[in-house]
Amino acid sequence: MSFPYKTVLVIGATSGIGLALAEKCIAIGSHVIAVGRRKENLNDLVQKYGNNKVTIFQFDITNLQGIPDFVKSYASDTLLLHLRTYFTNFPISRVTAAHTKLDSVILNSGIQRGFDFTKPETVDLNMLDLEVTTNYLSHIHLFTHLLPHLQSLAPTLTALIFVTSGLALVPFPRYPNYCATKAAMHHLILSLREQLSGSNVKVVEILPPAVQTELHDEKHQPDIKGGGRVGIPIGEFTEEAWKGLCEGSEGVPVGIIKGHYEGWERERQEGFKMLVRMMKQSGQ
C-alpha cells in the first residue's frame, strides 16, 4: 500500500517528529498544511519546498478559544472574498475554507517537562496546566472541530493520525504529567476509533520511543545534558512510522515500543473490544 492522503494538515510541523512527517508527506506528493508557533521555521519550509507544496499557518494550539476560527471560515467564502477586497490583512485563509479537500490530520504537538512531587515547592503548576492543554485538551478541541469537515468528504477515506508515546503504555517517573497526558490520549483514541468505526474517518495512533528531537533538549529541560541526543535518530523513526502508515495500520508502535504493543497491549485491547461487544449486546 501507499500513503493514500493527498492534503495533510500537520499540527506541530516546525520541528522534530511533526517536521519529519511533514517532509515525508511532501516527498510523496501530498500537499502539506503546516501549523506551528514559530513563523521562522514555517517560512523555512516554504522556502525549501515552495508554496505549491506547502501552506503555512502560524497558530498556537493552546489558544483553545481560537481553534474554531482557525479551523473554519469567519463567514461564507463570498463574504470573505468581499472583505479581503477592502481589508487586505483580513484573515481569509482558514484551514477548511482554504483547503476543501483536506483529507487527513496529523496531531503531533506536545511538550515534556519533569515534575518532582517529593519537592512540591518546585512544581510549576502553570507549566503542568500548559502540558495538559498542549498534549491533550488542544487535540480534543482540534479534532472535534475538524471532524465535520472530514465526515463531509464521505465516501472518501480520511484520517486523524495521532502521535502519542510509548510512555502512554509504560510511564517514566520523571515525567508523571506527560505520561498521564499520553495515556489519556491513548485511551481516548481507542474510544474514538470505536465510535467512528464504519465511517470514512480512520483513527490512527503512532507510538514513538524516545526520539532525538528537541523535546528533551537542554533548552526545555536544562538538567538533562545532551538531551537532544536521547533516543533513536529521527530518520530511523520516520522510516519505521511511515511504513506502518503505508501498510494501513491503526496502531503504529515504533522501535522498542513494538514489544509492549504487540504483547500485553494487544491483549488489553482485546479486553476493550470484548467490553464493547458486551455493551452492544445489552443494547447500551
What pLDDT score does 228 carry?
A: 66
- Look at residue 56 and tell me if it is in a domain: yes
- Look at residue 250 and tell me if it is in a domain: yes
Q: What whole-number distance in Å separates Cα of residue 168 and Cα of residue 89?
A: 42
**SS3 at position 120:** helix
- Look at residue 41 and tell me if it is in a domain: yes
For the question of whether the overall pTM of this predicted structure is more than 0.85, the answer is yes
* Backbone φ and ψ of 192, nearest 5°: -60, -40
- Look at residue 2 and tell me if it is in a domain: no
Q: What whole-number distance in Å separates Cα of residue 16 and Cα of residue 21?
A: 9
What pLDDT score does 90 carry?
A: 41
- Look at residue 201 and tell me if it is in a domain: yes
Structural domain boundaries enclosing 258: 7-282
pLDDT average per 10 residues of sequence, the chain (284 residues)? 93 94 97 94 94 93 94 54 44 74 95 95 97 98 96 96 97 96 98 96 97 77 71 95 96 96 93 91 78
Contact call for residues 44 and 198 (beta carbons, < 8 A): no
Rounded (5°) CA angle 164-168-247: 50
CA dihedral sign of residues 77, 81, 84, 89: positive
- Look at residue 186 and tell me if it is in a domain: yes
Contacts of 182 (CB under 8 A, 6+ apart): 110, 135, 164, 165, 167, 168
Written as one letter, the residue type at 22 is A
The residues facing 104 across adjacent strands are 8, 159
What pLDDT score does 74 carry?
A: 43
- Look at residue 43 and tell me if it is in a domain: yes
What pLDDT score does 76 carry?
A: 42
Count of domains for the chain? 1
CATH number of the domain that 146 lies in?
3.40.50.720
Q: What whole-number distance in Å separates Cα of residue 63 and Cα of residue 112?
A: 18
Q: What whole-number distance in Å separates Cα of residue 51 and Cα of residue 14?
A: 16
**SS3 at position 261:** helix
Contact call for residues 224 and 216 (beta carbons, < 8 A): yes
